[in-house]
Structure 1
Amino acid sequence: MSHRPRRLLTVFAVGAAALLLTACTPTVALDPAAGANNPRCADVIVHLPDTVAGKAKRETNAQATAAWGDPAVVLLRCGVTPIGPTTKPCITVNGIDWVLENNPIDTDLRYITFGRVPATEIVIAHGKGGVTDASVLPDLADAISFIPQKKQQKCLSTADVTSPTVTPTPLPSSK
């Protein structure tokens, strides 16, 4: 057998193996957000990392979405409706403000960016086989930063908010 047919056979075998391996990891089915066609979401999606919390990026079937892990333990959707002021927990990680939308003891945590239009939502699976938000949020910060933060919309802590000063009302004096 000459070298050329052997080389073609090798290339074919490698290509077939790659196809079989990708067939083992099905596409993650997600619904696109209402604002998924926003050009700023395209900026986010093209800058997403290949790994998040040590989990490999997966292919998704919807515009402006991403997923990591097999099974998927981190889901992302860009173009969700921004949220307004809230009393829900808000944290800042690497310059990105995130609002925790559900109970922190839930097995899946849902975060939405705060002060960015369009907003980005992530769902993080915790527990057995899951990952922590502390390992996910920093990995996404660079990509999310392509949507600018509105100047007047930032996470605030109770220390940032001043309560009105109460001026005592003088009591009437008896003369």
Structure 2
Amino acid sequence: MRRLALPLAACLLLAGCAPTVSLTPAPQATAVGCASLIVGIRGIETIGDAQRRQTDAQGTAAWGTPASVTLYCGVETPEASALPCTTQSGVDWLLSESGDERIATTYGRAPGVQLITTRDASVNDALETLSGAVATSTRGTDRRCLADPGASATPSAIP
């Protein structure tokens, strides 16, 4: 029994090195699809070089120290948008920027999901890593990106 106590203590000590990320839940974070998404991404420990972190809000996830990728499930999505749109694993994402953050918000999915990446993280990596789980956990609606697929924005178009 004593042998197990030391490794357990070491794990607890190491877990304390990266404090919980404090986030605010999205308005519909209690939606069934959000619970399914959070369970579905449980095994995703890294996005690029960023390691998974604990969060303190329902329907959220974070990677990196400091958090360079954050996920919010249960966000409101627009009825229509002039924002650039890209599709990854069957999920349409609206792309925008705010200061040093790049924001990808699902379009035509319920509940809505938003990924926010800092300049230290790749929005491409985040979309590639998480879109499959978003596709299986949320339901598609009749709304789709209308841009010509050859002309639609790609995540790399957002610096």
TM-score by length of 2: 0.86
CA drift at 1:95: 1.2
Where is the strand percentage greater, Structure 1 or Structure 2?
A: 2
Q: How many residues align?
A: 147
For the residues of structure 1 that align with 2:49 and 2:78, how far apart are their CA atoms?
A: 29
Contact 1:32/1:62 (CA < 8 Å) preserved in 2? yes
Question: For structure 1, which runs of at least 5 residues remain unmatched after alignment?
Answer: 1-7, 161-175
Runs of 4+ aligned residues of structure 1 deviating over 2 Å after TM superposition are: none
Superposed CA RMSD in Å reads 1.6
Deviations 1:129-160 (A, max 9, x none): x121111101001110121211x311121579
Does 1:141 find its partner at 2:154? no
- Give 1:95's aligned residue: 90
Contact 2:111/2:139 (CA < 8 Å) preserved in 1? no
For the residues of structure 2 that align with 1:91 and 1:73, how far apart are their CA atoms?
A: 21
Pick from 99, 103, 113 the counterpart of residue 110 of structure 1.
103
Mean alpha-carbon deviation: is it higher for 130-139 or for 59-68? Answer: 130-139
For the residues of structure 1 that align with 2:149 and 2:133, how far apart are their CA atoms?
A: 29
Q: Which amino acid aligns with 2:104?
A: Y
For the residues of structure 2 that align with 1:154 and 1:53, how far apart are their CA atoms?
A: 28
Deviations 1:110-136 (A, max 9, x none): 11100011100110011xxx1211111
> Max radius of gyration: which structure?
1
- Give 2:33's aligned residue: 40
Go from structure 1 to structure 2 and tell me whether the alpha carbon gap of 1:159 and 1:71 turns closer, same or farther (over 3 Å shift).
closer
Contact 1:47/1:142 (CA < 8 Å) preserved in 2? no
SS of 2:133's equivalent in the other structure is helix
Q: Which amino acid aligns with 1:77?
A: Y
TM-score by length of 1: 0.79
For the residues of structure 1 that align with 2:62 and 2:121, how far apart are their CA atoms?
A: 13
User: What percent of counterpart residues are identical?
Assistant: 34
